[in-house]
């Protein structure tokens, strides 16, 4: 019997909007959905683990991945490189799982061009002030890095119109529920 192939979902939005938090809640209730583990040249945060949160690699190794055409998309974000392995997409979908790519907007646009069946979802903050509060409150970046991440919000927002869906993450449970509904609806198509 042939297995049905899974569906690809791309989730983007400004840093600190709550993408990771929403996706974690969603995954707890959906064992059939996997989250792609990206490669990055950024240093791990204190509670991050190599091979779980990211594959933390050197710039040289990242350049090698690009040259060997191992990445379905990649982009520079705030001074570091981030990318999605082709193998992760192909293997996960072929095994019948749905897959979420939690990636920034330039990468999302690359996926949109390469894989038109992918469903793109943009997460918005209720306000810029609240975004600033969340990113600062997370306490994972220094002030300069926080400024850099917030400075690109307007550009990121401009790209949100290229997405299939937008969700405002005001109340966490409601935003997660909205994402769940979008995924269920798209799975029926």
Residue 77 in the binding site for ligand 5GP (CB under 6 A): yes
d(CA 11, CA 31): 18
- Residue 16: which region, alpha, beta or left (left: phi > 0; alpha: psi -120 to 50)? left
Report residue 132: phi and psi, to 5°: -60, -45
**Closest to 11 in 3D by CA, of 150, 104, 114:** 104
- Residue 149 C-beta: closest distance to ligand ADP, Å: 9
Residue 88 in the binding site for ligand 5GP (CB under 6 A): no
Partner whose binding site includes residue 16, from ligand 5GP, ligand ADP, none (CB under 5 to 8 Å by kind):
ligand ADP
Residue 73 in the binding site for ligand 5GP (CB under 6 A): yes
d(CA 54, CA 84): 10
- Residue 173 C-beta: closest distance to ligand 5GP, Å: 22
User: Chain centroid to CA 141: how far?
Assistant: 18
Q: For residue 166, what is the DSSP state?
A: E
Report residue 81: phi and psi, to 5°: -100, 145
Residues numbered 25 to 64 that lie near ligand 5GP (CB under 6 A) are: 38, 42
d(CA 159, CA 71): 22
Residue 103 in the binding site for ligand 5GP (CB under 6 A): yes
Nearer to ligand 5GP, 2 or 139 (CB): 139
Select from 6, 18, 107, 125 the one that contacts ligand 5GP (CB under 6 A).
107
Binding positions for ligand ADP, rule: CB under 6 A: 13, 15-21, 134, 137-138, 169, 171-172
Interface ranges with ligand 5GP (CB under 6 A): 15, 38, 42, 73, 75, 77, 82-84, 102-104, 106-107
């Amino acid at each position: 019997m042939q297995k049905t192939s899974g569906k690809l979902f791309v989730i983007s939005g400004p840093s600190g909007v709550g993408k990771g938090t929403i996706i974690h809640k969603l995954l707890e209730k959906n064992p059939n959905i996997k989250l792609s583990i990206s490669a990055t040249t950024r240093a791990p945060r204190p509670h991050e683990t190599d091979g779980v949160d990211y594959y933390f690699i050197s710039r040289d190794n990242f350049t090698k991945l690009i040259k060997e055409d191992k990445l379905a998309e990649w982009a520079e974000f705030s001074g570091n490189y981030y990318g999605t392995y082709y193998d992760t997409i192909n293997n996960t979908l072929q095994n019948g799982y749905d897959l979420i790519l939690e990636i920034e907007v330039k990468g999302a646009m690359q996926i949109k061009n390469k894989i038109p069946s992918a469903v793109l979802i943009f997460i918005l903050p209720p306000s810029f002030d609240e975004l600033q509060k969340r990113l600062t409150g997370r306490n994972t970046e220094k002030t300069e890095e926080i400024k850099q991440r917030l400075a690109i919000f307007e550009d990121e927002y401009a790209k949100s119109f290229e997405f299939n869906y937008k969700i405002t993450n005001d109340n966490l449970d409601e935003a997660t529920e909205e994402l769940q509904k979008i995924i269920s609806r798209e799975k029926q198509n």
